[in-house]
Amino acid sequence: MSGLEIAGVLLGTFPLIISGLEHYRDVAKVAGFFWQVRKKYQKCRSDVLYHELIYKRNLKELLLPLVSDSEEVNRLIAEPGGQRWNSEALQQKLEERLQESYSLYIEIVNDMNETAEELRKELSFDQAAIQDKVNRAGDAKKQKQQQAGKQSRTASMKANVDYQMFRVKFSLGESVREELFAQLKQYNERLEKLLGTSDKVSMLQSGSIQSGKNTSVMETAFRNAWKKSDLLFRALQNAWNCSCQQYHFANLRLEHRTLSEICFEIILMFVAPSDHGNTPWAWEELQCGQLAAHACASPKVATRPTNGSKTTIRQNSHGLTSILPRRAKTVAFSLPQGAVPQIELDSMSHHDVELCKLLSDNRYGVCMGVIGHDGETYHLHPSTKRIQHQPNTVITLDQILSDDFDGHVSRRQRYAIALLLASSVAQLQFTPWLRTGLTKEDVLFLPSESENDVVPYGEPFIRQGFAAPFTESDASDCNFYSLGILLLELCFGKRLEDYPLRRRHPAGEGDTKNAFDLMAALRWSAAVVDEGGGDYASAVKWCFTGSANSKQQWRSEIIRNVIQPLEHCQQHFNAALT
């Protein structure tokens, strides 16, 4: 018999055991001693029904993934030994599902079948003699009259002896039945564990394959974004052609890019010291997409008045400009778009763009022109997604995480920012946009188009200037300590320098500061698993301890060990909202 047929045979054994028990109950009631064994009988019957039910559930768990229709499984269970149990196709599916566990699974079913048969024999009796006694008791007077002269004394004594022996056997055989029931329980548990581990291994194998595919797809998208963002910066740098280039800054919106088509969102700013005088332009929001891809969102036509105002600025430690907000910020949160919309591109746009002059003249419509570098071209479309503010009116992540910030950033928003920053590091590392390790002073939030002063926490930017050309030597070593510190700060919603352990050591500068920061961050990271969960903790841990061995495959490693765990965190939040 095939393994499938053996599994079906066992199903038919349990009803036989129940049938035997019910015959015994009928005899005991007729004989008047059922009350003496009622509890033992009920327990025995309950045990049989229990093990039958568990076995049926094990079979259903085994068969449901193999049969498209659940009703078909129910029919199989209801007809043990029927023609459906002879299906060769179902037998093949069974072997494929259990894989290397198949032989052991069927061996356990065989052993279970033998045990069930032993139990059936243990509860069997000479049914002919007992049934004869039941029939005679059904109509005592008639039976006495009809059988008094027919049944020999020897036959009557034999029936009584058989009956009495079975009563004694049932009463005294409890220990034997308990042993057989214990075996049935053990076999059912083994079947359940064996199937469970088989499914878990299959799931891990398929999950590993799918995870590898997802990593590969994301790595391809990130490599594409890395190349195009690098060339976009160089194209912008080539397009200035002005003596005031040192005062020009580009704010690039950080996005978790997983699509092949890319449209960059940039805000150009003219930021000069107060003694520079009036600036010819101050702010321009752009959508930058490639001509071949047609991958920018349809922008609003920008009609920007010339700005002759003076700009007062304050330089921070990274050479960027910022001021603290004068009033509390309203919290807003927007998730990245799931798709890149399309636009029609103007093939007559100018390719030789003098960007600073063009922005000063304010003579452009839907399309400003085309810039390019090393064979890649980008179409520039003005946009008015945000209200134009003073170029220095920005909020840094450092300010948001400080104790002086009046607003509130929820855990969900902080985790979303963490995913965006980790993704952006994988896209921008070793490009002119990210010349050194990303820090909270580099991450900017710009006001959106609203009457209220709203901080769009789902749309962080990074700022970079064009004062000096970027060279490969500007790139830092392949470590991700700064990202780990950022994730740590976002987990707890506070800055590392405000952490008590860090305050015990000097602030320091340069390598000394970095060493003290890293030491305090490692101590602090031990508390992440309780605060942020296992996925978040594993992402932080890799930034500090796992990245040192990933120089050759750093992008795929950061995707697998940081970005995907942070995606899981986001999925948990999304699931909680549904």
Which band of pLDDT confidence, cut at 50, 70 and 90, is reported for residue 338? very low
Residue 137 has pLDDT above 90, yes or no: no
Evaluate if residue 276 carries a pLDDT over 50: yes
| pLDDT score at 546 | 79
pLDDT at 299 over 90: no
Weakest mean pLDDT among 1-15, 179-193, 368-382? 1-15
H/E segment holding residue 574: helix 564-577
Overall average pLDDT of the 300-310 stretch: 41
Q: Specify the higher pLDDT residue, 291 or 238.
A: 238
Of 65, 58, 60, 68, whose CA–CA distance to 97 is shortest?
Answer: 65
Looking at residue 548, what is its pLDDT? 65
Sign of CA dihedral 555, 558, 559, 561: positive
Q: Confidence band (pLDDT; 50, 70, 90) for 427?
A: very high
Predicted confidence (pLDDT) at residue 572 exceeds the cutoff of 90: no
- Residue 301 near residue 382 (C-beta atoms within 8 A): yes
DSSP string of 518-558? HHHHHHHHTTHHHHH-HHHHHHHHIIIIIGGG-STTHHHHH
CA distance 218 to 555: 10
Question: Is residue 457's pLDDT more than 90?
Answer: no
Phi and psi dihedrals of 290, rounded to 5?
-85, 145
pLDDT at 156: 53
In this predicted structure, the answer to whether residue 321 has a pLDDT above a threshold of 70 is no
Residue 517, SS3 per DSSP: helix
Identify the pLDDT of residue 120: 86
Residue 134: pLDDT over 50: no
Residue range 276-290: mean pLDDT, rounded: 85
For residue 233, is pLDDT > 70?
Answer: yes
- Which pLDDT belongs to residue 390? 62
CA distance 462 to 434: 8
Whole-structure pTM value: 0.59
Geometric angle at alpha carbon 550, from 549 and 551, rounded to 5°: 105
Residue % of the chain over a pLDDT of 90: 25
Indicate the average pLDDT of the chain: 77
Torsion, CA 267, CA 311, CA 245, CA 300, rounded to 10: 30
When computed from its CA atoms, the radius of gyration of the chain, rounded to whole angstroms, is 39
Structure token digits, residue 357: 């002059």
Here the tokens at position 195 are 């199937």
Mean pLDDT of the region 100-118: 89
Question: Quick one: pLDDT band at residue 210, thresholds 50, 70, 90?
Answer: low
pLDDT, tens digit, 9 for 90 and up, residues 467-497: 776 665 445 556 789 999 999 999 999 999 9
3-state secondary structure 37-77: HHHHHHHHHHHHHHHHHHHHHHHHHHHCCCCCCHHHHHHHH
Q: How would residue 329 be classed by pLDDT, with cut points 50, 70 and 90?
A: very low
Q: What is the 3-state secondary structure (H, E, C) of 287-336?
A: EEEECCCCCCCCCCCCCCCCCCCCCCCCECCCCCECCCCCCCCEEECCCC
User: Mind listing the pLDDT tens digit for each residue in 489-531?
Assistant: 999 999 999 999 989 988 888 889 989 999 999 999 999 999 9
